[in-house]
């Protein structure tokens, strides 16, 4: 679908974080699974081993565990982004625009869970998870733009992202605000905290759920050399992070300089703006100290710009925004 007219941006001077290199990661042999739709942003796996994803025209797909062809289960308004298999087997779906929805995997019916926060429309619902007690947590990357204009949020360089909590009675509260493009969120294996990513901030942080630090945020891994996207928790508790792209030198140069220059650049056609290099990049971090414990980094002609990932059956499944396919490889 063609993007709507660009909204104006209100950029500020912003100093990007420094860069701390990550260890070299091995390549991997990918199996690419073509889809009847483009840019499957996230991937999750249900109790039967089926993989779920959403494509950019609103369709939500189920890829059977036996490798059969993908099945369209539902079509949602807005662009499906982050997904999560809830404790009751519903599929939680972030849409932009639209908000947070739940999908009955058997009947294909959709229900809106959150359309507004603080009396305003939820613009860029990005990723969602549940804590062990069933409370739903979800991120909004920016309150100013929908997914169609995500580069506007990058050019603005304003911390308009948030982490929200939805209680069982439907009450929505802000857990953390002022985030630089909040994105993936996943619980630690012990349920003591959530780990969330800030794509522009290039960091992973922990929002504590239990203990003396409950309700506070502490860093897990900062100064990443690329942009983190969706997250998932591996079988051994490691935190998998989809790295959608390495740094873009032009964007890093522009951020601390004249806001008026970015306003002009925003008005140009997309092809003349800084572009994302399509790599296949996934990193697993230790949930306690943030050290790298596994990962892969390679290039593939039919897959790249990894935005979601999940362990399943000894393999790492990945979604992306660059191609009409998902992919998997042996678990690194």
Structure confidence by residue, pLDDT tens digits, 45-67: 999 999 999 999 999 999 999 98
Average pLDDT over residues 33-50: 97
If we measure between CA atoms, which residue out of 321, 331, 317, 303 comes closest to residue 34? 303
Q: Is the pLDDT confidence value at 1 over 50?
A: no
**CA atoms of 80 and 266, how far apart (whole Å):** 25
Pairing relationship of beta strands 136-140 and 161-166 according to DSSP bridges: antiparallel
If we measure between CA atoms, which residue out of 174, 169, 166 comes closest to residue 136? 166
Tens-digit pLDDT profile for residues 88-110: 999 999 999 999 999 999 999 99
Cβ burial 186-222 (10 Å sphere, 16+ → b, else e)? bbbeeebbbbbbbbbbbbbbbbbbeeeeeeebeebbe
More confidently predicted of 72 and 270 = 72
DSSP-derived secondary structure letter, 257: S
- Domains along the chain with CATH numbers: 31-330 (2.120.10.30)
> What's this model's pTM, rounded to 2 decimal places?
0.97
**How far does Cα 295 stand from its chain's mean position?**
17
């Amino acid at each position: 679908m063609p993007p709507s007219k660009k909204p104006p941006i209100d950029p500020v001077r912003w100093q990007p974080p420094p860069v701390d290199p990550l260890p070299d990661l091995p390549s991997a042999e990918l199996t690419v699974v073509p889809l009847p739709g483009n840019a499957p942003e996230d991937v999750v796996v249900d109790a039967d081993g089926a993989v779920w994803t959403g494509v950019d025209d609103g369709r939500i797909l189920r890829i059977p565990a036996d490798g059969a062809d993908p099945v369209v289960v539902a079509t949602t308004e807005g662009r499906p982004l982050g997904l999560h298999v809830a404790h009751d087997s519903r599929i939680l779906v972030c849409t932009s625009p639209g908000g947070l929805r739940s999908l009955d995997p058997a009947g294909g019916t959709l229900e809106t869970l959150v359309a507004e926060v603080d009396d305003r429309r939820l613009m860029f619902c990005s990723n969602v998870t549940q804590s062990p007690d069933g409370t739903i947590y979800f991120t909004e990357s920016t309150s100013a733009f929908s997914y169609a204009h995500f580069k506007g949020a990058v050019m603005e360089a304003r911390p308009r992202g948030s982490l929200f909590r939805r209680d069982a009675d439907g009450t929505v509260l802000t857990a953390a605000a002022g985030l630089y493009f909040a994105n993936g969120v996943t619980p630690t294996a012990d349920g003591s905290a959530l780990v969330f990513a800030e794509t522009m901030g290039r960091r992973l942080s922990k929002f504590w759920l239990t203990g003396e630090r409950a309700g506070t945020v502490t860093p897990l891994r900062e100064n990443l050399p690329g942009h983190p996207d969706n997250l998932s928790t591996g079988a051994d508790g490691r935190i998998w992070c989809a790295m959608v792209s390495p740094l873009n030198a032009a964007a890093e140069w522009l951020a601390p300089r004249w806001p008026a220059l970015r306003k002009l650049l925003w008005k140009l056609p997309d092809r003349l703006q800084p572009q994302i290099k399509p790599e296949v990049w996934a990193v697993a971090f230790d949930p306690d100290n943030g050290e790298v414990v596994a990962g892969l980094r390679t290039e593939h002609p039919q897959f790249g710009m990894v935005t979601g990932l999940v362990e399943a059956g000894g393999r790492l499944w990945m979604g992306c925004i660059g191609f009409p396919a998902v992919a998997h490889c042996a678990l690194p």
